[in-house]
Amino acid sequence: MKTNQHLVLSYFILFITGCGTRGPEQAPAVPVVPAEVASASPFRFDDVTGASGIVHQYRNGEETQPPHLSILESLGGGAALFDFDGDGLLDIYFPGGGHYTGPDQKTISGHPGALYRNKGNFCFDDVTASCGLNSLAEGRPWFYSHAATVADVDRDGWPDLLVTGWGRIALFRNIENGKGGRAFIDISKIAGLDKGITWATSAAFADLDADGWPDLYVCQYVDWSFSKNPSCDYDGKTPDVCPPKKFLGLPHKLYRNNGKGGFEDISDIASLKPAGDQGKGLGVIIADIDMDGKPDIYVANDTVDNYLYANRSAKGTIKVEEVGVIAGAARDGNGATNGSMGLDIADPMRRGQPDIWVTNYENELHALYRNLSKPGKPLFTFFTPASGIAAIGQKFVGWGTAFLDLDRDGWEDLVITNGHAIRYPTTTTRRQRMVVMRNQKGRFNDASAGSGACIMEPYLGRGMASGDLDNDGAVDLVIAGTNEVPRILRNNSPQTNHWIGFQLSRKDHADVVGTRVTIDGDAGKQYRFAKGGGSYASNPDRRMHFGLGASKDPVTVTATWPDGSTQTWTGLQPNQYHVLKQAP
């Protein structure tokens, strides 16, 4: 269906000054090109955490003496950006991590996370307690947590929050607080999500069976416990955290949203891969990867094959087929498995197809899988060397990540946060700087050194959530660390280029994952894909942001919704956010 209606809402842009307070089928070969040298950066980020009011720290329990050196301590946590109170500003939730208690210090306990309400001007208030997030249902204490993700699971128009971790996951429904504001209530038991979890890491929501209700994929990691906690070292003498190869993987979980307030565990009947020496999931992202109109699932696994689940569902029945190896998206260019963590799906070459991006461990190239798929037939080729991204080398341990058009020139740039997984690395440092790469018409150059002192400052990074915290059209970064305060990095890049942004809204608040949005302007066509999950253990801003270059002319935009319907809007003004509402 093609329409020409204008949008019903634009976001007010805030101009701020500061707070003042604290396989078998072969893909075509690609050319290998020399590594690019560092280029002058058009980007600038400033760390504004100190004046933001954010003081929360994710704790991993490594302070215990004598140290356990458990692999549990290595994963860290993420961050979730979402407007929980509907005021047009992105709020931030941080998982809390955990610690050890009991006489032998082997009881795994949790710290509460923290919800910060965005007041504008990069100022935040801690509203964790007043919003009901300081404890679980019936006053139970928190579990050791890692990740957070967001979706409107009950389709009431308000974003709900899921938190994952050791031994369980928790789903919080967004409700009225009786005072004109919003709060959260733990509905995990009512929703059927209070059991069956051993060690959950990243999670993602998407409507997999075309009934409008967001279903849920949960990664699980490895079969570790204190009875399975061997001694390990990397230099022959210094005890350290054991690598994932010392453990078997755990089965991942898939839940169908029944549309009645609950979820049904369909992991055993949906054709998920079994546990054993595979799985070991750390990251997950969902989008229409093979462009057949159905959201597919990509999973970053640690030291074993990554998964690509092609969606073979019918309405009301979820079925997936794992095709990662045969599609060329499970391993690197040498056919080796990697230690994979962070994810994104984007179109950095502007071909109109969603490429897959994966951050990996040290001594491995990060993976850019170029999409060569035909509808329903996924096919990829390993494109990292040809893209220039290999220029950053193999010394980083990459986690949270995103493609973002930082300079608004119409080409999506790349950001990665880094930090070692073990306590005492032998060839590099534990705390590592970030990486920022500039996309120059499909070729990437390392622009980190000129992008701000906060980019080059070492940090024990894990999750990263990108989003426009002040609605000025420059995408900011929230970096989640381990045993230190998160970083709020304001995008202060000098800007002469223009931009436009969109929030998607379907009929009856149906899930939007799988939607494809195309803009057509003076700079040519650009494409974005509605996603669930992504980055590492985090939930980025779900609004779509496009750079327009020097053009300030009105924009034409087309949305292809998951139900196959298409709408086109014309005459959209740049330098603001619009809501794209699906026609009734």
The model carries a pTM of 0.94
CB distance 487 to 563 below 8 Å: no
CA–CA separation, 531 and 81 (whole Å): 14
Phi, then psi, of 47 in degrees rounded to 5: -80, 110
Query: Looking at the domain covering 45-581, what would its CATH class be?
Result: mainly beta
- CB-side neighbour CA atoms (13 Å) of 337: 17
Q: For residue range 67-81, what is the model confidence (pLDDT) as tens digits?
A: 999 999 999 999 999
CB distance 323 to 308 below 8 Å: yes
Q: For residue range 393-421, what is the model confidence (pLDDT) as tens digits?
A: 999 999 999 999 999 999 999 999 999 99
Give the 3-state secondary structure of residue 568. Answer: strand
Burial class (CB in 10 A: 0-12, 13-18, 19+), 67: middle
Q: For residue range 230-260, what is the model confidence (pLDDT) as tens digits?
A: 999 999 999 999 999 999 999 999 999 999 9
Please report, for residues 283, 303, 436, the alpha-carbon distance to residue 509 in angstroms, rounded to integers and kept in the order given: 26, 38, 35
CB distance 242 to 225 below 8 Å: no
pLDDT at 357: 99
* Alpha-carbon torsion, ordered 481, 485, 486, 489, to 10 deg: -130
Counts for the chain of helices (H) and strands (E), in that order: 2, 40
Q: For residue range 558-579, what is the model confidence (pLDDT) as tens digits?
A: 999 999 999 999 999 999 999 9
Q: For residue range 484-496, what is the model confidence (pLDDT) as tens digits?
A: 999 999 999 998 9
CA–CA separation, 338 and 398 (whole Å): 12
Query: How many Cβ atoms sit within 10 Å of the Cβ of residue 571?
Result: 11
Query: Percent of the chain having pLDDT more than 90?
Result: 91
pLDDT at 27: 36
How is the chain split into domains, by residue range? 45-581
CB distance 480 to 450 below 8 Å: no
Query: How many Cβ atoms sit within 10 Å of the Cβ of residue 130?
Result: 15
Check residue 455 and report its DSSP letter. Answer: H
CB distance 402 to 348 below 8 Å: no
Direct distance between the N- and C-terminal alpha carbons of the chain, in angstroms, rounded to an integer: 11
Q: Per 3-state DSSP, what percentage of the chain is helix, strand, and coil (rounded to 5)? A: 5, 40, 55
CA–CA separation, 304 and 267 (whole Å): 20
Query: How many Cβ atoms sit within 10 Å of the Cβ of residue 184?
Result: 21
pLDDT at 275: 83
CB distance 299 to 306 below 8 Å: yes
| pLDDT over 80 at 2, yes or no | no
Nearest to 561 by CA among 153, 207, 138: 207
